[in-house]
Chains A and B, each alone.
Chain A
Amino acid sequence: MPWLKRLRANASLRLRLLLLMGALLFSLLLVSAVAVLAFISVTDRATWRARQQEVAQSAAERVSAFVLQTMNSLNAVTLLDRAYLLDNPAALQPFLTQNPALLEITRLSPEGAVVATAALETPQFVERLAVDQANWFLAAQEGERYFGQVELDKDFEPYLIIAVPTPLKGAVVARLKMDLLWEVVEQIHFGESGKAYVVDRNGRIISHQTHEFVVSHQTLDPTEPLLQAITAMREMPDQPYVNFLGERVLGVTKEIPGTPWVVVTELNAAEVFTRFRLLAVLFASGLLLLLVLALRVISYLLDAHVLSPLQALQAAAEHVGQGDFAHPLPLLRPDEIGAVTGAFNAMAHQLNVREQTLAAQAETLAAEVEEHRRTAQALRSSEATNRAIIEALPDLLLRVQRDGTVLGVRSGRDWQAWALPTDLVGRHLYAMLPSPLVETVKATIAEGLASRALQTLEFDLPANGAVHNFEARIAASGEHELLGVVRDITERKQRETLLQRALENERKMGELKSRFMTLMSHEFRTPLAIILTTAELLERAAATMPAERRTHYFDSLRTQVHHLTHILDDILMISRVETVGIEINRQPVDAAEFCLTTLEELGPLLNEHEVIFREHNGHQRVEFDTKLMRQALTNLLSNASKYSAPGRPIQVTLTIHDQCLRIEVQDAGIGIAPEDQRHLFTAFHRGRNADYRPGIGLGLTIVKHAVELHGGSVTCESQLDVGTTFTITMPLVASSDAPPRI
């Protein structure tokens, strides 16, 4: 059956549930219907049965009473005196009148002779032939009562032969009209098909609505259940049976007391069952309808309450499965489905949260991983770097414990030369250090461990015959451990010093520059102003001016120009010396001649002073840069002139001795303060007592440079308000010596 296969294959919950419910309902309804119908059937039958029994009972009673009455009459006759009866033939007549159903009553002797008789018509029981053979007579002779068959007479009237024995074994026999039997049978009706009939114990039908059966001596077959029940003297069961007519009936039997007869009431089973069948049909169709309805309702309920939510749940689950958390299920009901929905929503929400958390965590993790990776990588590279660093580190690495125990030593390149002992590990640091340092180191270590901050310590240690500067950087590398990097910073220190000096020089230079600028502007401005004034003056008044006045002013112009030129030369020279460097150009020259020339050139400048020139072996041929020297000398003389009062002498002494040239320029000026003497040759430095005197402070610087370029030196001796002496000393070396560049 294909539909069965489809059924099996279809795993739909709905189908199975509906089938299950349908089967359950059907069985339930069927069982209940069957039960109800059975009940109805039973009660129906019981009702009918009761009715039947009632009817049968009343019929039996009637017949029984009737027969009994006759019996009583017969018994009465037996008691009558025989002689009396013989004398009074009409003695039995009253019995007939009393009992209209009596057709004949006859008393016979034991030999069968008639004692008395009374009959409505011809007495029958008087014929010897019949009497002697009659069973009633024979029974009476046995002393037994006789109850005959119901017989029909020529008019189809039923009658009965009953006889009782007399005390002497005669008989009193009677013929009894049994119309009552017809009546009883015909009057019994119940239901539509209910009827009654009378049978005797042998199954012969005594009375029946269909007289034919009585006429034809219809007898029940011994196999008839009715006869079997009668024979066994038990009640007919409450089950339909088939009667002798082939009808299916429900029957009730009732013995008629005092007779060997049984009243049978029968009702067509069909009649009983008609109602039942109708009910059954109604039930069946009702059951059917109910089942279908119920299934529909169940189906609807299933859909509404279970399957639709399940489908919604499924759809939602699919959404969630795809990561779409935007479709929470509507929470509508407080029952189990609602609980599932709520749980599902919560779960989805949790899933969402978790997913986000997980995503975030994943990101974090990824970032962390990435970071770790990078960190690891960095670590690796850092480790590599560290290794490289450590390898490259030229310093001394020390790992020390809190108490100063050396845990590890690594000598960097720079320290290889130190040849530190290799078994430093395990030894106490403090034992190897000079005692003042030990305290410092201890304190530093303590501080480092406590603060976990980098500690820097500079100290000096004598090493290899010199004092070396060391810098130790100590940092905590563990709970009780520190790492120290010790570096020889001697060079650095030196460089630092140099740098500091350079910086200082820079600073000074800056100062000087600013001073220079100030001075320059002042120094230039002044001559320029003078020039301008003079020029203007000359312009205005040159024509009217006396000649010597004019000459005075022209000299003044020249002087100022010389002054400016001089200043510029100085500046240029200084500049060259400081930047590019000057290569001296040694030329042979007579030293003394040189000096005299220089003095001559400075004539006007030195007018106000008395210049004395001495020379000692000065007329030798020397080689120096005349320009530079000239400038140097000029500056010295200029200074001498500038810083001494007019009229005060200036002495110039030239000495050549031992291949050494010496020039001294002495003045009796204001002198130079000791503190200024230190900065004498510093560019742009002016003595503090220079104040209004013109000059930018380059002169001596130039002197110094020029002289030093020649490998010589210049010194100064001075006393305030006494005078100053500058001494240039330079060797008369071969001109092949390459002067150091400055």
Chain B
Amino acid sequence: MKEQPIWRQPAFLLLLAITLLLVSCESRPTPTTVVPPSSEELIFYDWPDDVDPQVLEAFTAETGIRVRYEVYGSVDDAVQDLRNGEHYDVVILTNEWVAKMVAEGRLAEIDYANVPNFRYISANFRDLAYDPQNRHAIPWNWGTTTMAYRSDLITTTLTSWADLWTADYQGPIAATPAMRDVIGVVLKGLGYSCNSEDPAELAAAREILLQLRPRMILLTADEATTAPYLINGRAPVAIVQPRDVLEAQAESASIVHLYPREGSVLWGDNFVIPTQSHDKAGAERLINFLLRPENAAQLVSYNLYPTPNDGAIEYIAPELANNQVIFPPQERLSNAEVLLPVSPEANEIYMEIWEAFMAADN
């Protein structure tokens, strides 16, 4: 063949091409994370007056995201709203509802990359039954459901839940309309577990509840605590959380706080992010902000509920930290029971009982 220079011979060119191809192989670039645009407003759905507005404002100041504080009268309402697809970004749900909502797929998995402050949550609040491995909920508050009464308005000394319907006293009972709490205390008064699924037990509780209803004053959505009723005496007895007690005790000296003999009911509030949140990342940022020890401490000092936030302990005012109403000693909780999620069938019964209970308002 004709003498072509080597760089023009086809064989050479072919090999060159192959070489270049090999050389040009590179590893794939790491994918870049796409940061979704943050929204301007987050909706915080909670019990009334649960969060110190200053904290929320501080959040807005820091991040530029506004927080709208929406309130619900009861968790059941909140759940209903969630089921209706209402838009909320952060919702406070009690323990027993978290599992249900998770099962219904209404709660988003929390991306802990955005919530590094989760590490402040103490060990004993990790991996709880209603939310294994804290996938969907971060514990916020926990507390006891106990009784308090005006000793000056009631002659009898109340010592147990059963006293609510058996003791001789006059006057309505104020209570937050929390289904599991109310039914739970009745169950405990009857000597059952507040997480009972036994239809017979539940039927008995139902009866009591229906009896009690006319005598009960249930808080509305604007009413944060039962304290006012205790203070003004309209309800000499109340089913209370620590906050109620502290607020009442602050105003009245004759408030007696008791841990019923059957044992108090323990509840927990959790931060959850519903799937219909428009800005999950923003919601997570908010939660993270609230978990910041200083902020958590501030929340505690506002709502006077104990917190699982270890980091916050040092920021909580000593009088609060040592307040045994807020942080009850263990011996008081010896037969306290935590409200646990019940099976869907049992939950149906609970809900039926609650509906009947609520309807029995005459």
Task: Please state if B15 and A151 are interface contacts (CB–CB under 8 Å).
Answer: no
What is the CA–CA distance of A667 and B263 in the complex, to the nearest angstrom?
235
What is the CA–CA distance of A136 and B27 in the complex, to the nearest angstrom?
44
Please give the distance in Å from B25's CB to the nearest CB on chain A: 7
Enumerate chain A interface residues (CB-CB to B < 8 A): 3, 10, 12, 14-15, 18, 22, 26, 104, 111, 113-114, 124-136, 138, 148-149, 151-156, 159, 161, 175, 204, 212, 215-218, 242, 245-248, 268-270, 273, 277, 280-281, 284-285, 287-288, 291-292, 295
Task: Please state if A133 and B338 are interface contacts (CB–CB under 8 Å).
Answer: yes
B95 contact set on A, CB distance < 8 A: 133
What is the CA–CA distance of A159 and B310 in the complex, to the nearest angstrom?
14
Residue of A nearest to B25 (CB): A277
A248 contact set on B, CB distance < 8 A: 27-28
Task: Please state if B124 and A130 are interface contacts (CB–CB under 8 Å).
Answer: yes
Beyond the given A217-B112, A270-B27, could you list 20 further A-B residue pairs with CB under 8 A, ordered by the A residue number?
Answer: A12-B1, A113-B334, A129-B142, A133-B129, A133-B130, A134-B124, A153-B310, A154-B293, A212-B113, A216-B114, A217-B111, A217-B133, A218-B113, A246-B30, A268-B27, A277-B22, A281-B23, A284-B19, A288-B12, A292-B9
Task: Please state if B340 and A22 are interface contacts (CB–CB under 8 Å).
Answer: no
Task: Please state if A114 and B330 are interface contacts (CB–CB under 8 Å).
Answer: yes
Interface centre among B26, B129, B308, B336 (most CB of A within 10 A): B129
Hey, what's the 0/1 contact readout for B328-354 against A, CB within 8 Å counting as 1?
001001111110100000000000000
Task: Please state if A133 and B120 are interface contacts (CB–CB under 8 Å).
Answer: no
What are 16 A-B pairs at a CB distance below 8 A? A114-B330, A125-B124, A126-B330, A130-B122, A130-B124, A130-B128, A133-B129, A135-B127, A148-B126, A154-B311, A217-B113, A217-B133, A248-B28, A270-B27, A288-B16, A292-B6
Select one of B127, B266, B308 contacting A136, CB under 8 A: B127
Please give the distance in Å from B52's CB to the nearest CB on chain A: 21
Task: Please state if A132 and B11 are interface contacts (CB–CB under 8 Å).
Answer: no
Select one of A133, A204, A288 contacting B128, CB under 8 A: A133
Query: A132-B337, A154-B119 known; A288 and B15 CB under 8 Å?
Result: yes
B113 contact set on A, CB distance < 8 A: 212, 215-218
Task: Please state if B11 and A153 are interface contacts (CB–CB under 8 Å).
Answer: no
A284 contact set on B, CB distance < 8 A: 15, 18-19, 22
Task: Please state if A280 and B22 are interface contacts (CB–CB under 8 Å).
Answer: yes
Task: Please state if B19 and A124 are interface contacts (CB–CB under 8 Å).
Answer: no
Select one of A22, A133, A138, A159 contacting B123, CB under 8 A: A159
For chain B residues 250-294, which have a beta carbon within 8 Å of chain A? 266, 268, 293
Task: Please state if A124 and B112 are interface contacts (CB–CB under 8 Å).
Answer: no
Interface centre among B6, B124, B125 (most CB of A within 10 A): B124
Residue of A nearest to B142 (CB): A129
Enumerate chain B interface residues (CB-CB to A < 8 A): 1, 6, 9-12, 15-16, 18-19, 22-23, 25-31, 95, 110-116, 118-120, 122-130, 132-134, 142, 266, 268, 293, 308, 310-311, 330, 333-338, 340
Please give the distance in Å from B293's CB to the nearest CB on chain A: 8
A153 contact set on B, CB distance < 8 A: 119, 123, 310
Task: Please state if B123 and A156 are interface contacts (CB–CB under 8 Å).
Answer: no
Task: Please state if A149 and B330 are interface contacts (CB–CB under 8 Å).
Answer: no
What is the CA–CA distance of A218 and B335 in the complex, to the nearest angstrom?
38
Task: Please state if A127 and B124 are interface contacts (CB–CB under 8 Å).
Answer: yes
Q: Which 4 A-B pairs have the closest CB atoms?
A: A216-B113, A130-B124, A217-B112, A128-B333
Please give the distance in Å from A456's CB to the nearest CB on chain B: 91
What is the CA–CA distance of A270 and B26 in the complex, to the nearest angstrom?
8
Residue of A nearest to B335 (CB): A111
Please give the distance in Å from B86's CB to the nearest CB on chain A: 28
Query: A128-B266, A277-B22 known; A14 and B127 CB under 8 Å?
Result: no
What is the CA–CA distance of A280 and B10 in the complex, to the nearest angstrom?
21
Please give the distance in Å from A538's CB to the nearest CB on chain B: 135
What is the CA–CA distance of A611 and B283 in the complex, to the nearest angstrom?
217
Please give the distance in Å from B118's CB to the nearest CB on chain A: 8
Task: Please state if A295 and B119 are interface contacts (CB–CB under 8 Å).
Answer: no
Task: Please state if A152 and B130 are interface contacts (CB–CB under 8 Å).
Answer: no
What is the CA–CA distance of A3 and B11 in the complex, to the nearest angstrom?
13
B119 contact set on A, CB distance < 8 A: 151-156, 215
Task: Please state if A247 and B19 are interface contacts (CB–CB under 8 Å).
Answer: no
A285 contact set on B, CB distance < 8 A: 19
A12 contact set on B, CB distance < 8 A: 1
A-B contact count (CB 8 A): 150
Task: Please state if A26 and B338 are interface contacts (CB–CB under 8 Å).
Answer: no
What is the CA–CA distance of A3 and B9 in the complex, to the nearest angstrom?
11
Task: Please state if A14 and B1 are interface contacts (CB–CB under 8 Å).
Answer: yes
Residue of A nearest to B129 (CB): A133
Select one of A132, A134, A269, A281 contacting B127, CB under 8 A: A134
Task: Please state if A127 and B330 are interface contacts (CB–CB under 8 Å).
Answer: yes
Please give the distance in Å from A41's CB to the nearest CB on chain B: 12
B333 contact set on A, CB distance < 8 A: 127-129
B28 contact set on A, CB distance < 8 A: 242, 246, 248
Please give the distance in Å from B335's CB to the nearest CB on chain A: 8
Residue of B nearest to A146 (CB): B127
Task: Please state if B127 and A148 are interface contacts (CB–CB under 8 Å).
Answer: yes
B1 contact set on A, CB distance < 8 A: 10, 12, 14-15, 18
Please give the distance in Å from B234's CB to the nearest CB on chain A: 31
Task: Please state if B126 and A149 are interface contacts (CB–CB under 8 Å).
Answer: yes
B335 contact set on A, CB distance < 8 A: 111
Please give the distance in Å from A333's CB to the nearest CB on chain B: 25
Task: Please state if B11 and A134 are interface contacts (CB–CB under 8 Å).
Answer: no
B336 contact set on A, CB distance < 8 A: 128-129
Task: Please state if A134 and B30 are interface contacts (CB–CB under 8 Å).
Answer: no
Residue of B nearest to A134 (CB): B128
What is the CA–CA distance of A469 and B330 in the complex, to the nearest angstrom?
192
Please give the distance in Å from B270's CB to the nearest CB on chain A: 11
Please give the distance in Å from B341's CB to the nearest CB on chain A: 10
Select one of B12, B16, B31, B120 contacting A246, CB under 8 A: B31
Please give the distance in Å from B117's CB to the nearest CB on chain A: 9
Task: Please state if A281 and B19 are interface contacts (CB–CB under 8 Å).
Answer: yes
What is the CA–CA distance of A175 and B123 in the complex, to the nearest angstrom?
8
Residue of B nearest to A14 (CB): B1
Interface centre among A133, A149, A153, A248 (most CB of B within 10 A): A133
A268 contact set on B, CB distance < 8 A: 27
Query: A138-B129, A153-B310 known; A288 and B111 CB under 8 Å?
Result: no
Residue of B nearest to A160 (CB): B123
Select one of A14, A104, A277 contacting B23, CB under 8 A: A277
What is the CA–CA distance of A12 and B25 in the complex, to the nearest angstrom?
40
Please give the distance in Å from B205's CB to the nearest CB on chain A: 20
Please give the distance in Å from B180's CB to the nearest CB on chain A: 13
What is the CA–CA distance of A204 and B119 in the complex, to the nearest angstrom?
16
Select one of A247, A277, A280, A295 contacting B11, CB under 8 A: A295
Please give the distance in Å from B101's CB to the nearest CB on chain A: 16
Task: Please state if B11 and A22 are interface contacts (CB–CB under 8 Å).
Answer: yes
Residue of A nearest to B117 (CB): A154
What is the CA–CA distance of A40 and B334 in the complex, to the nearest angstrom?
68
Query: A149-B127, A153-B310, A216-B111 known; A129 and B338 CB under 8 Å?
Result: yes
What is the CA–CA distance of A10 and B334 in the complex, to the nearest angstrom?
103
B26 contact set on A, CB distance < 8 A: 270
B330 contact set on A, CB distance < 8 A: 114, 126-128
What is the CA–CA distance of A126 and B23 in the complex, to the nearest angstrom?
63
Query: A287-B15, A288-B16 known; A132 and B116 CB under 8 Å?
Result: no
Task: Please state if B268 and A129 are interface contacts (CB–CB under 8 Å).
Answer: yes
B132 contact set on A, CB distance < 8 A: 135
What is the CA–CA distance of A741 and B25 in the complex, to the nearest angstrom?
148
What is the CA–CA distance of A126 and B328 in the complex, to the nearest angstrom?
12
Select one of B12, B127, B338 contacting A128, CB under 8 A: B338
What is the CA–CA distance of A132 and B11 in the complex, to the nearest angstrom?
78
What is the CA–CA distance of A131 and B335 in the complex, to the nearest angstrom?
12
Task: Please state if A154 and B310 are interface contacts (CB–CB under 8 Å).
Answer: yes
Interface centre among B1, B118, B142, B335 (most CB of A within 10 A): B1
Task: Please state if A132 and B340 are interface contacts (CB–CB under 8 Å).
Answer: yes
A22 contact set on B, CB distance < 8 A: 11
A287 contact set on B, CB distance < 8 A: 15
A273 contact set on B, CB distance < 8 A: 25, 27
